[in-house]
Copies of this chain bind each other. A is one copy, B any other.
């Protein structure tokens, strides 16, 4: 599957250095410990490397996750309230426990008929992403460029798309934007793969085992309950911890809850382990590992194929254009693994190694997105491409003499090799 083993090793080494600090990252910024609920981090984006002499961007090949949203599973709002109410009825809540319960009730009520929906912050994330895409690559969006925008059939993705297209039209009214959200496109926009579904079921016990070894709600229970024995006997500590984590991690999705921080009830260790379990869960479900026969990552083979074909069409078109796709974390993450972005193709069969080597949160915060930006130069057939992972320049596991740019012909050949290497 890989072209140059040495290069892969180098990339991995760099990636490992970058990821070794996740425990510290979360300590410094507990919101990042929210895993896939982490709000899109765009307050301090690094500057982009200018294009090589004479090269101009002419095409963006994009897949992005919907922005911040409400939780999908309503039980996650309910269970923490139910568990804390046991303590309330018995007079066993600490002051922090009582305050938390009040906040949880407010959040639960506000979630009524909102499950899974895009939040206000989610809409704004996409407006900002679109604005920067336009400002960073004005040549792509110049004139009456055709912009092909597609979403999965899930409403939060469609509204994410709408927030980007609204912004693009406001910046250049002449753009010819077409939009769609059709079952017709779901085979590549969010492919359902029965082999992958089976493999995921088979490794589910590995995750349960990892979780049982890594999660312990002792500190959290001490923060919330006045009586250890009561908490041990009457509270489902693990259910409270894991469901409260979902709510607490996702509070950052809503302006309305800006003054309602909850992650403080976890110790640094608890929060890291909650993150780590989620990270391992993702690793088993979508990453490149012998534990799932190196196969689950190929759930996105159709999307990778569509990236290649869209680029082929854009080159044939001979003018500036963009292909913008809007979908899910469960698509962005395996696609990054399949492409090998920033060492996301890291492979291990030891789940204890995952946290230090593979960080799902760097790839799929809310609104996480992959942008391949294509450049050409008058009089040259050598099309260049730059990979942006969440708008940061990123690496692929192949050689390049013009980093952070790559020769598209070589990237395309690499992607074709990856596709050809799909395990049967």
Contacts and interface: CB of A to CB of B under 8 A. Distances in A.
Interface of A: 112-114, 117, 120, 123, 153, 155, 158-159, 161-163, 165-167, 169-171, 173, 177-184
Given A123-B178, A171-B173, A173-B171, A113 B166 contact: no
A123 B113 CA distance: 28
Contact of A155 (B113, B114, B173, B181): B181
Contacts of A178: 120, 123
A181 B167 CA distance: 19
A158 B162 CA distance: 9
The list of the 9 closest CB pairs from A to B, nearest first, reads A170-B173, A169-B170, A162-B162, A113-B184, A113-B183, A166-B169, A155-B181, A158-B158, A169-B169
Given A158-B159, A161-B162, 15 more contacts: A113-B182, A113-B183, A113-B184, A114-B182, A114-B184, A123-B179, A155-B155, A155-B181, A162-B179, A163-B179, A166-B166, A167-B169, A169-B169, A170-B173, A171-B173
B117 A182 contact: yes
19 contacts: A112-B184, A113-B183, A113-B184, A114-B182, A114-B183, A114-B184, A117-B182, A120-B178, A123-B178, A153-B155, A155-B181, A158-B159, A159-B180, A159-B181, A162-B165, A166-B166, A169-B169, A170-B170, A171-B173
Contacts of A114: 182-184
A173 to B, nearest CB: 4
A161, A166, A171, A173 — most chain B CB neighbours (10 Å): A166
Q: Is the interface of A mostly helix, strand, loop or mixed?
A: helix
Contacts of A173: 170-171
A155 B156 CA distance: 11
A355 to B, nearest CB: 37
A169 B126 CA distance: 15
Contacts of A113: 182-184
Contacts of A153: 155
Contacts of A162: 158, 161-162, 165-166, 179
A176 to B, nearest CB: 11
A159 B182 CA distance: 11
A164 to B, nearest CB: 10
A161 B163 CA distance: 11
A382 B36 CA distance: 53
Nearest to A167: B169
A169 to B, nearest CB: 4
Contacts of A179: 123, 159, 162-163
